[in-house]
Structure 1
Amino acid sequence: MNYKRCVSIAAVLLLSACSQTSFSTIEYYQFSQPIVNMQRLAENTQAQLRINTVQLRGALNNRGIAMVLENNRVNAANYHLWSESPDLMLTASAHQQLYTELDNWMVIKGLPVITDLDQQSYYELEY
């Protein structure tokens, strides 16, 4: 009876050890920047600057953070991800930074708001 009890305990311990798997938790990252109030009247601006969406190619626009390995290989992480696609984060970051730095410019993302009077003072940034 003692032998059966030892075998039973060993079997339970073995099964419980096999059932415990360690899963890595997924971590999400975002660019760290202060959020500023972005409200400006068109009458108080000299010019308009439209920011096009940043174009990233290949593995750089992957939500998994890219790591460069030896021999110029790129690997995307599985458990360390950007909170949104890098091209959108870079566009939003550029928009906020330019809006903050250019006090008398109307910095916009997306479609421009251009009237006939604004044609001479309209600029577009693409990178």
Structure 2
Amino acid sequence: MAQKLILIIDDDNRNIFALKAVLKAKGFGCLSATSAREGFAIMEENENVAVVLMDMMMPDMDGYQAIATMKKSDKMQNIPVLAVTAQAMVGDRERCLSAGASGYVSKPINVDELLLQIEEVTNKK
């Protein structure tokens, strides 16, 4: 079976670089996109994406719009999304989850928490 991949969608390459370094060290395969549309193209082409780490604050299309778009797509609707955001105010977690995210991790990212959530959403399948 092919390795399950994690798709990181973030408009900041430094965040992508840091997340990839951590996840690859833990044995995950990673793909990345700097926009939601680029991420959609990757998911259309690659059936091994197990989970998406979605930055919620991006220009163009933000994470909320991107999750809504994914939920309407036959190919992407079952891929769990973990919202990754610097917004850690009261209600932000709920807003992300009600938008369709499977989990929520605030920046700066607690790696143990992130790994726990990846484990949870990928084992639900």
TM-score normalized by the length of structure 1: 0.29
**Whose radius of gyration is greater, 1 or 2?**
1
Task: Indicate the structure whose relative CO is greater, using CA pairs within 8 Å and at least 6 residues apart.
Answer: 1
